[in-house]
Amino acid sequence: MSQQGDRPATTDDWWGRLYDESARDTGPAGTPDDTIDDRFDSAADTLGGGDNVPSTRTYGHAVDAIAVDDDEDDAGDDEDEGVGPASRPPAWWESPGGRPVTRTPAPEPAPPEPSVPTPAPVAPAPLTPRPRAPWEPPPAAFDPTDPAADPTPPPAAPRDPRAAGPQPPAPAPVPPPPPPAPAPAVRVSHVGDSPPTYEAEPTALPAADAEELDQLVADTVLDGARYGTYTLRAASLRGDSARYRGEPRRDALLTARFGAGPGALVLVAVATGARATEGAHLSAADACRWIGGAVGRSHSRLAEDIRAGRRGDLKSGLHRLTDRTYGKLRARAAELGRDPEEYTASLRCLLLSADPDCRTRVFFGVGGGGLFRLRDGAWQDLEPLVPEPSAIRGAPVVGYGSVPTGAGAATEQTPDGDRLTMDLEITKAPGPLVEEPVPPPPEPFRFRASVARPGDTLLLTSVGLAEPLRGVPALGDELAARWADGEPPGLATYLADVALRAKGYADDRTAVGVWEA
């Protein structure tokens, strides 16, 4: 392998002769203009190829060197060295005027494009405005007085459908969003200017006895049913005061159905034990249980009288059953060694027939409470008037339990002369026999029978809800607004309605609602 510089003589001999150490340097030219061009021309003349070597006036396009574009220096060099355009013909890359000419080949004609069917114009898709970034300045406000201000954006340049290919179909226009639904009405938890003193939810449980767990009562009882043309809702809940002090609920609620089919009878009983007495919740439960047993044993006759509309028979018979119930309460007080006024309760009941053709609703009872009817958006107080004291006592009423006279009486009497049309099944209380007649209840007996209309709402309440309904008109207005459509609420909604509170009323609440279809 030859080293660098060891090139064949046939090719590089002129290079060796030019830079041979034994050769004398030509030295500077005699003229003051000693340039590279002059030296190159001198070397070309030495090699004997002056006529065939191209001039360096226009190198840069054909040789790998730096082009010099200095017209004044070129003209001087031509005069000094006697080399110019007249001494040789111009090369192919030189222009006649001595300037380099770049020859660009003519472009080849483009092949004809195949014919492409022009698609139908497509409407441009709506542009989605780009949100402005936080670091971008806000757009300048449009000034209508400025002639240079033009709020209309410039039209987009038309696109060549052949270059872009088939255009996608325009998206379907987005329908405008529907108007927002009206906000639901806010259901208040209390009425009045200020909330009640106690909390709305239970805080303390009543004390329990390990040997008497059957005497415990729940904080809230909820029930409901539907028969014939009516829907029944019933709820009983502990008052705010009892919840705070950990006392049991004094109100008792009983819902029972006796019989089946159109002849069935529904009984709803509400009882409230005496205030500030021990075992008040037990006396209320006993009153509901005993009146329920008496009605259940005579339900067939009672249901028949309700469908036939025999108000007189119903009043006398139910009066007798109520007296017997309070007689048992007195006997129970004697067993416990307590005063009869301590172990007692107020009792209010509703009798409802399951026959769709019967719209007679019967109310009876003893003691405080309320009976209301919501008709045409207005409340009506149906509480029966208390009879005069002179009208409480009198001769036996012909009907249930009265002594009959006339023919056929002997066949309906017992050996002791009693007429039994109802099986009361009252057992004797242990202890000495009481020869005196059973004393009447501390309050008069109340009775009312009414015919319901479609759309009516009948409401039977204990004292804890009757008093605020009569004393706080806003409570009645709120319940009327909630039940204005005539549709019976669900159990949970009904419980929330009954629990609507008012300041100053913290007793137990029990309410029975009957919605007529």
Positions of E strands within 109-219: 190-191
What structural domains does the chain harbor? 23-81 (no CATH), 190-385+413-516 (3.60.40.10)
pLDDT confidence band for 119 (50 / 70 / 90)? low
pLDDT at 174: 81
What count of other Cβ atoms lies within 10 Å of the Cβ of residue 48? 10
The better pLDDT of the pair 152, 254 is held by: 254
State how beta strands 360-366 and 457-461 pair: unpaired
| Cβ count near 426 (within 10 Å) | 15
CA of 8: how far to CAs of 14, 16, 43, 243, in Å? 11, 11, 20, 122
Where do we find the tokens 């029966």?
384
pLDDT higher than 60, residue 188: yes
Which contacts qualify for 76-81: CB closer than 8 Å, 24 or more apart? 76/33, 77/33, 77/35, 77/37, 77/38, 80/31, 80/33, 80/38, 81/38, 81/41
pLDDT in tens, 127-171: 555 666 666 666 655 555 555 555 555 555 556 555 555 667 777
pLDDT at residue 498 in the model? 95
Is residue 274 within 8 A of residue 341, CB to CB? The reply is: yes
Q: Which residue has the higher pLDDT, 82 or 340?
A: 340
Q: Is the pLDDT higher at 85 or at 317?
A: 317
3-state secondary structure of 400: coil
pLDDT-above-90 percentage for the chain: 47
Contact 364, 349 (CB under 8 A): yes
Task: Write out the DSSP string of 48-112.
Answer: T-TTTSPPGGGTTSSSSS-----HHHHHHHHHHHT-STTTSPPPTTB-TTSSB-PPPPPPPPPPP
Instruction: Give 305 or 82, the one with higher predicted confidence.
Output: 305
Nearby residues of 424 by Cβ (< 8 Å), 6 or more positions away? 294, 297, 298, 321, 324
pLDDT category at 213 given cuts 50, 70, 90 is very high
Is residue 232 a contact partner of residue 512, using CB atoms and an 8 Å limit? yes
Mean residue pLDDT of the chain comes to 75
∠ CA(126), CA(132), CA(136), 5° rounding? 140
At residue 511, the 3 state secondary structure works out as: strand
**What is the phi-psi region of residue 165: left when phi exceeds 0, alpha when psi lies from -120 to 50, beta otherwise?**
left
Band (48; pLDDT cuts 50, 70, 90): low
Name the percent of the chain in helix, strand, coil, to the closest 5. Answer: 25, 15, 55
| Helices of type H across 207-310 | 240-245, 280-297, 299-308
Choice among 32-41, 76-85, 189-198, 455-464 with the minimum mean pLDDT:
76-85
369-405 per-position pLDDT tens digit: 999 999 999 999 999 877 665 555 544 443 333 334 4
Q: Which residues pair with 360 in a beta bridge?
A: 451
Neighbours of 325 (CB within 10 A): 28
- If you average pLDDT over residues 22-38, what whole number do you get? 59
Give me the pLDDT at residue 193, please: 78
Q: Which residues of 165-199 are buried (b: 16+ CB within 10 A; e: fewer)?
A: eeeeeeeeeeeeeeeeeeeeeeeeebbbeeebebe
- Counted residue by residue, the chain has a size of 517
**Distance (Å, whole) CA 419 – CA 403:** 6
At 445 the pLDDT is: 94
pLDDT, tens digit, 9 for 90 and up, residues 284-303: 999 999 999 999 999 999 99
Local structure of 451: helix, strand or coil: strand
Per cent of the chain over pLDDT 70 is 57
Does 38 score more than 50 pLDDT?
A: yes
| 309-315-316 Cα angle (round to 5) | 125
Distance CA 509, CA 398 (A): 37
